[in-house]
Copies of this chain bind each other. A is one copy, B any other.
Amino acid sequence: MLCSPKQAMEWRTVSVYGSGTRSVKIRIADAIRAQILDGTLATGDRLPTEAQLVDEYDVARNTVRDALALLVNEGLIVSQRPRGYFVRGGQRMQYRPQSDLGSRRSGASRDSYLTEQAMAGRQPTQKIEVAIVVPPPEAAQRLALDEGQPAVVRRRVRLLDGEAYHTNDSYFPLELAQATEIMSPVDIDRGANQVLAENGAQQVRARDEIFVRMPTPGEAQRLDLAPGTPVAVHITTGYTADNVPVRVAVNVLPGDRHVIIYDRLATNEPYGPPELADDMDDAGAEDE
């Protein structure tokens, strides 16, 4: 006799869920995921309510919620309480770490974030905050600062149409930034790098490091991240010709709103001075 899982609960003696059979919540999640991937449910569409799914699959509400939680944590759907669950998806902005260092490109006098995003027809804003702090380890280490040594930080949250786009925390050695525009919590038209260059700290080389992880609760709040949204942490360290680090920028990019793009030449000669080139030989990966 065929019966629903809920009824079966009462008189079965052997497992329905074990071994080959996958759990009920996974099968429900699979069914909904398939609908999303094949287009039956498109970006922005509303899912059936929990109650409807309870009826449809004849299981307890918590089981439906477990199934939906799987999809939420995959980043496929989002709950907009109390409106319902909706299919996620949307455009990613291009993020180019290269379009920065050194002097500005000709014609681009304003902060390139502001100019370039404005062209996409969206309203860019940013909040800037400057402070003298003992930098977090990831910044202190890259700036080669001793423990407890202070630095200047410019913290920015960049928004597009009021929606958080990414954060940028730039750390500078105190003696370099002191008494410059870097200390002022407003946009620097020609760029902080240009200011550094005018003060004898021209950057000639940079290293980008990209970490991928789930956001901290603080980051999730600051960037208004839905559950199931990972972040890329892009850390740029800028060096002078003397190989002195003069700037560390920590960017936190919501994974669902960005593509990181690098254009490169097809040479594999490492950049930078020999001692760093040596470092590069002992680890790495290649892409075919």
Q: Are B287 and A249 in contact (CB under 8 A)?
A: yes
Give chain B nearest CB distance to A281 CB in angstroms: 8
Complex CA distance for A102 and B121, rounded to whole angstroms:
39
A191 at the interface (CB under 8 A from B): yes
On chain B, the residues within 8 Å of A119 by CB distance are 282-283
Candidate in A247, A263, A282 with the most chain B CB atoms within 10 angstroms: A263
| CB neighbors of B among A8-43 (8 A) | 30, 33
Across the interface, which residues of B come within 8 angstroms of A266, CB to CB? 101-102, 202-206, 238-239
Could you tell me if B271 and A212 are in contact, using CB atoms closer than 8 angstroms? no
A63 touches B (CB below 8 Å): no
A92 within 8 Å of B (CB atoms) = yes
| A224 interface residue (CB < 8 Å to B) | no
Q: Is the CB of A100 within 8 A of B286?
A: yes
Which of A47-55, A143-151, A250-258 contacts the other chain?
Answer: A250-258
Within 8 A of B (CB), among A93-112: 93-105, 111-112
A5 proximity list for chain B (CB < 8 A)? none
* A interface bracket (residues with beta carbon within 8 Å of B): 35 or more
The distance in angstroms between the C-alpha atoms of A204 and B213, with both chains bound, is: 33
Contact A94 B285 (CB under 8 A): yes
Q: How far is the CA of A150 from the CA of B131 in the complex (A)?
A: 56
Which residue on chain B has the smallest CB distance to residue A37? B216
The reply to whether the CB of A139 lies closer than 8 angstroms to some CB of chain B is no
Nearest B residue to A231 by beta-carbon distance? B212
- Known contacts A208-B260, A210-B232; 15 additional CB pairs below 8 A are A73-B214, A74-B214, A96-B286, A98-B268, A101-B265, A102-B268, A116-B284, A191-B288, A204-B266, A205-B265, A206-B264, A208-B262, A209-B260, A212-B260, A232-B232
A-B contact pairs, 5 of them (CB 8 A): A101-B266, A105-B268, A116-B285, A206-B266, A208-B263
Closest 5 CB pairs of A and B: A230-B230, A212-B255, A100-B286, A101-B266, A96-B284
